[in-house]
Amino acid sequence: MKLERLSWALGWASVGIGLAELTFPERLSRVLGAPRRSGRMLMRSLGLREVASGLGLLLQPHRREWLWTRLVGDALDLTLLAVSFRQPRANKFWQGAITAGALGWTLVDVYAAVKRNAPLLRSGAVTPSLGMDAGSSGPAESWRGSGLAEDVGVNDRRGEESEPEEVRQRRMDEAARQLGLPELDEHGAPR
């Protein structure tokens, strides 16, 4: 599975989990045996955190910080679930089911965070994709030679003598980064 698709799926999962925590805070806190008032407030804050990290993954799927944010949130969730097992009013069956689900999502988050070895994005805006382009099967390098490179500023000096190959290649690489294309090795294959 491509990492962008995985980030997209984790983003939607975070939004869904967060909305459930925001919509049913009293029921969830009752299942976990938490006191009513503090349990509701805790569930709502956890829901806001989940929605925020989910939106971050949907709007910036290439940024690994959002994956690590989810992973830190999983650690917090598992800690709170471990504490909730001491509560005498907790429903042990549902508590175990919720904990098993949280462990499963944590394993997926660990995989995604460790697998994402791309360098952190430096500067420049990344166009939000919301995962809608994750299944596109068009060639990633089809923009080369199409005039699109000139549109993003690779060839700013029209009409002048050609520039050295090193400068032209550096401009092409910068344009590829701006467009979010994969880096290529000397043979033109993705790295």
Q: One-letter amino acid identity for 183?
A: E
pTM of the predicted structure, to 2 decimals? 0.58
pLDDT of residue 164: 83
- Cβ contacts of 108 within 8 Å, gap of 6 or more: 6, 10
Q: What is the pLDDT of residues 85-99, one digit of tens each?
A: 888 888 888 888 989
pLDDT of residue 46: 92
Give the count of alpha carbons within 13 A of 100, CB side only.
6
Cβ(47)–Cβ(22) below 8 Å:
yes
Give the count of alpha carbons within 13 A of 46, CB side only.
25
pLDDT of residue 14: 92
Return d(Cα 106, Cα 75) in angstroms, integer.
8
pLDDT of residue 162: 66
Cβ(130)–Cβ(59) below 8 Å:
yes
Can you list the residues of the chain whose pLDDT is less than 70? 1, 117-162, 187-189, 191
Q: Estimate to the nearest angstrom the gap between the alpha carbon of 184 and the chain centroid.
A: 23
pLDDT of residue 157: 52
Q: One-letter amino acid identity for 45?
A: S
Return d(Cα 168, Cα 162) in angstroms, integer.
9
Cβ(55)–Cβ(15) below 8 Å:
yes
Q: What is the pLDDT of residues 131-169, one digit of tens each?
A: 445 444 444 444 455 555 555 554 555 555 667 888 888
